[in-house]
């Protein structure tokens, strides 16, 4: 069943963080009303929404309330309650479906879907005990990454095993009655992300492939164009297309990949707009958020055009005051502040985007303006 919305109807959003906020802003420009379900009283999305249902993500009464006032429903992050998503899917108001959510909530299922689709993934094992970790590392070797199967983001819920000394620390990392994935560390040349949108009629549009830089497992900077060959770019898009069909994706979806020796390896997936796609707001004729809204509302996707180059830099809590103090002296960049009250050191508080004719020109402007790059 195809969902079609006209301006004036209401889009419900599960989750009220910055991604929901940016979805809402894009939808507002198109004439839609916004309802958000989020437990926090002044969450970023609630600040721009028409209705805020202040409730936990697994509150089924709140889900029913959201269903009543919404004509279509979407989710802004993958850690919403799967049971709630299944219930909303049965109403016909969740065109994304619950399958992409179910898979991306579980790293084991992510890997299985990629392998079933014939895609490259780092060698991995599923473990539940320290003894199993010791056995797995004999096959996988060092270095390796051990991660929780569910939850965890921005480096939380994972640790790197460089040698046998680190292995002993994994004994305290492993919690009883929990499941983990241990995977080979790929000494990658680039980490890239493919942000794309798939419509309800299976049309796909791809945003320019982005190259990502992380600091302490948190995305620090994204830039386009990525320094990859056409062969790698085609592999990445084909991998994304394969996963989109397998998961019956509707809306904006993101696949993060490692690049090594002209081959791509699936790292992680996100069933929604992504931090590495924020540059699209200013650098493209249509953002990842507007394209997502178009998809879930049954509108045709726009053909994507972009500036030749762009750089997006995340603003963490520890950087925010420094940046705000420098605002009157800084030129040629776009500021996004997410409206979060508590500026914890490693919390994403906003981002800046700089667009231009080339990456060289942008880096020169950053240097001339003495823009903090942290």
Q: Which fold has domain 10-94?
A: Rossmann fold (3.40.50)
In sequence order, the 6+-apart residues with CB closer than 8 A to the CB of 201 are 2
Categorize the per-residue pLDDT at 372 as very low, low, confident or very high, splitting at 50, 70 and 90: low
How far is the C-alpha of 123 from the C-alpha of 217, rounded, in Å? 20
**pLDDT tens column, 302-354:** 999 999 999 999 999 998 888 888 888 777 889 999 999 899 999 999 999 99
Which two three-digit tokens encode residue 168? Answer: 């002993």
35, 50 contact by CB (below 8 A): yes
How far is the C-alpha of 259 from the C-alpha of 187, rounded, in Å? 9
Compute how many other C-beta atoms are within 10 angstroms of the C-beta atom of residue 197: 30
Mean pLDDT within 229-236: 98
| Range 190-369 has CATH code 3.30.470.20 | yes
How far is the C-alpha of 177 from the C-alpha of 323, rounded, in Å? 44
The pLDDT of residue 216: 85
What are the strands of the beta sheet with 124-127, ordered from one edge? 124-127, 180-184, 144-148, 158-161
The H-assigned helical ranges of 105-144 are: 107-116, 130-140
197, 211 contact by CB (below 8 A): no
Question: Quick check: pTM over 0.75?
Answer: yes
Mean pLDDT within 122-138: 94
Residue 371, pLDDT above cutoff 70: no
How far is the C-alpha of 182 from the C-alpha of 138, rounded, in Å? 11
How far is the C-alpha of 8 from the C-alpha of 87, rounded, in Å? 25
Mean pLDDT within 209-214: 96
Residue 373, pLDDT above cutoff 60: no
Categorize the per-residue pLDDT at 155 as very low, low, confident or very high, splitting at 50, 70 and 90: low
Tell me the C-alpha to C-alpha distance, in Å, between residue 192 and each of 44, 138, 208, 257, 269: 27, 29, 10, 5, 12
Higher-pLDDT residue of 169, 151: 169
Domain residue ranges of the chain, discontinuous segments joined by +: 10-94, 123-184, 190-369
List 36's β-bridge partners, or say none: 13, 52
The pLDDT of residue 151: 76
The pLDDT of residue 74: 97
In percent, how much of the chain has pLDDT > 90? Answer: 83
Q: What is the phi/psi pair of residue 102, to 5°?
A: -60, -45
**pLDDT tens column, 241-288:** 999 999 999 999 999 999 999 999 999 999 999 999 999 999 999 999
CATH code: domain 123-184 is: 3.30.1490.20
List, in sequence order, every beta strand (DSSP E) within the chain: 10-14, 33-37, 51-53, 72-75, 124-127, 144-148, 158-161, 180-184, 190-198, 204-206, 210-215, 218-224, 251-260, 263-270, 309-316, 334-337, 348-356
299: exposed, middle or buried (Cβ count in 10 Å: 0-12, 13-18, 19+): middle
The pLDDT of residue 199: 98
Higher-pLDDT residue of 74, 216: 74
Categorize the per-residue pLDDT at 50 as very low, low, confident or very high, splitting at 50, 70 and 90: very high
The pLDDT of residue 204: 98
């Amino acid at each position: 069943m195809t969902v079609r919305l006209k301006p004036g109807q209401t889009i419900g959003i599960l989750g009220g963080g910055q991604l929901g906020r940016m979805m809402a802003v894009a939808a507002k420009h198109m004439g839609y009303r916004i309802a958000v379900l989020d437990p926090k009283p002044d969450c970023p999305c609630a600040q721009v929404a028409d209705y805020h249902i202040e409730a936990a993500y697994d509150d089924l009464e709140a889900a029913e309330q959201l269903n009543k006032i919404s004509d279509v429903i979407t989710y802004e992050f993958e850690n919403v309650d799967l049971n709630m998503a299944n219930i909303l899917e049965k109403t016909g108001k969740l065109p994304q479906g619950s399958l992409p959510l179910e898979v991306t909530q579980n790293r084991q299922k992510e890997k299985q879907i990629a392998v079933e689709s014939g895609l490259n993934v780092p060698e991995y094992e599923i473990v539940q005990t320290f003894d199993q970790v010791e056995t797995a590392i004999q096959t996988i070797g060092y270095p390796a990454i051990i991660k929780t199967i569910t939850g965890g983001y921005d480096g939380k819920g994972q640790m790197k095993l460089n040698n046998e000394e680190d292995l002993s620390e994994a004994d305290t990392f492993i919690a009883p009655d929990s499941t983990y994935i241990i995977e080979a560390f790929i000494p990658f040349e680039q980490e890239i992300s493919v942000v794309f949108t798939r419509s309800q009629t299976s049309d796909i549009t791809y945003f320019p492939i982005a190259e990502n830089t992380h600091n302490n497992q948190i995305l620090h900077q994204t830039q386009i164009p990525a320094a990859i060959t056409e062969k790698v770019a085609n592999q990445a898009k084909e991998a994304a297309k394969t996963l989109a069909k397998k998961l019956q994706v509707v809306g904006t979806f993101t696949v993060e990949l490692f690049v090594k020796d002209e081959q791509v390896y699936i790292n992680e997936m996100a069933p929604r707009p992504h931090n590495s796609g924020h540059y699209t707001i200013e650098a493209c004729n249509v953002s990842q958020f507007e394209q997502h809204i178009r998809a879930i509302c049954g509108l045709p996707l726009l053909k994507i055009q972009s500036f030749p180059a762009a750089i997006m830099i995340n603003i963490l809590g520890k950087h925010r005051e420094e940046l705000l103090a420098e605002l009157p002296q800084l030129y040629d960049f776009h500021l996004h502040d997410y409206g979060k009250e508590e500026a914890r050191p490693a919390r994403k508080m906003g981002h800046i985007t700089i667009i231009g004719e080339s990456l060289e020109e942008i880096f020169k402007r950053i240097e001339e303006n003495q823009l903090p790059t942290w």
